[in-house]
Amino acid sequence: MTITAKNSNTISNVCILSFHTLYCLIEGGGNSPMLASKEKWCILFSPWMTSISAKAITRSLLLYHLVFPAKYRRKVFSESVENTLRDVCVGISERYEIRFIEIGVDEDHVHFLVQSVPSISITQLVKTIKSITARQLFRIHPEIKQMLWGGNLWTSGYYVNTVGQYASRDVIEKYVAGQG
């Protein structure tokens, strides 16, 4: 695996550490022979990788597998709509404490692997993602609104599972990435 840092240096073979090791590194201020430079520390905790959310006195790692079906199970997610959806999700990540680890799009539903903080409830998380994505997709792709006569992109229901209870993060990430 090769990851490019903001300063355009390339670091190869970045290893994923256990959560216990990450916690020890955080508590130790990041001083470790495993982390030879600040760039590696920044890459390890980049917004697109799973990291422990650190607040004043709490540490959390909350991952959710969400599935949102399109209204009436209409096949509205073309390749261009999928690309727009991914861009909208990047915008959501920049404004809210919501990180999209993986997005898997099928023709009539979308899988999200999302990380958030404890102060955002599941209901609030779902409401934020559904409302912003629907509004932006309808604005950029008006043809979707014509296919959905009720004016809603998503069904009122959704599926949510905490990652780790029934499957590991890696299993769900591969499953979500393989959708579509």
34-57 as b/e: b if 16+ CB within 10 A: ebeeeebeebbbeeeebeebeeee
Helices (H), the chain: 19-27, 38-44, 79-95, 122-140, 142-147, 169-177
For residues 46 and 106, give the distance between their C-alpha atoms in angstroms, rounded to a whole number: 27
For residues 158 and 66, give the distance between their C-alpha atoms in angstroms, rounded to a whole number: 7
Residue 166 is a catalytic residue: no
Identity at 51, one-letter amino acid code: S
Which DSSP letter does residue 67 get?
E
Q: By C-alpha distance, which of 94, 108, 11, 89 is closest to 47?
A: 94
Annotated active-site positions, please?
175
